[in-house]
Structure 1
């Protein structure tokens, strides 16, 4: 699978959560036209570093405990990487960050939309990441 580096420069246009955490990400294309319009969907526990540098262990479906996710709204993605079997790292312009590891039993995260290659990290993770 391909590391989704096309997300660099995208803004978090929307945050939503219930039994999943969803981030809508978008960026216009250079020179006009269609750019990136993607959705990151997180389905298992993850780590969020807020702009102040504090780490939060968060779990989809945990209601008000997901409030730190709201701080990502309007932020720009500055770095994206995937390590090992699908551990996603995203850094934001204000110093915030997301870390979403693979899960042994469940799909941990997936990415869909226009301007990116779709990614699904299923149970146990995925191998052979291309940069």
Structure 2
């Protein structure tokens, strides 16, 4: 699977909370073709707010997810995937998130245009390409 580096430079246009956490990210490319993507988090994840404080969050927990609202309008500075699918995203304001593969459930996936779709299933995925 490809590391979704195409998310670098995208902006968080929407945050959605239910039994998942969804971030809608977009950017306009030089040729008019950009990225329109949705990152879906389905299991526990770590979120670092812009002040540097870490929050251990879980989708489906309502107001406990409020720190993630600070991502609205923020731009992605860096994206990396390590090991079997640990996703790390850093934002320009200092915020960040990290989600590890879950042994039993799909932990995260990415869909949209201008990027390669990614799905990290139970136990994670091997053979990540930069």
Q: TM-score if structure 2 supplies the norm length? A: 0.99
**1:58-101 deviations in Å (ceiling 9; x for gaps):** 00000000000100000000000000000000000000000010
**1:34-60 deviations in Å (ceiling 9; x for gaps):** 200000000000000000000000000
Q: Quote the Cα distance in structure 2 between the aligned partners of 1:114 and 1:120.
A: 15
Q: Quote the Cα distance in structure 2 between the aligned partners of 1:63 and 1:95.
A: 24
5+ residue gaps, structure 2: none
Q: Indicate whether 1:18 and 2:18 are aligned.
A: yes
SS at match of 1:71: helix
Q: Which residue of 2 aligns with 1:93?
A: 92
Q: Quote the Cα distance in structure 1 between the aligned partners of 2:2 and 2:81.
A: 9
**1:94-116 deviations in Å (ceiling 9; x for gaps):** 00000010000000000000000
How many residues end up aligned between the 2 structures? 130
What CA RMSD, in Å, does the superposition of the two structures yield over aligned residues? Answer: 0.5
Q: Quote the Cα distance in structure 1 between the aligned partners of 2:113 and 2:32.
A: 12
5+ residue gaps, structure 1: none
Q: Which residue of 2 aligns with 1:48?
A: 47
Offset of 1:33 from its aligned partner? 1.7
Q: TM-score if structure 1 supplies the norm length? A: 0.98
Q: Quote the Cα distance in structure 2 between the aligned partners of 1:71 and 1:35.
A: 23
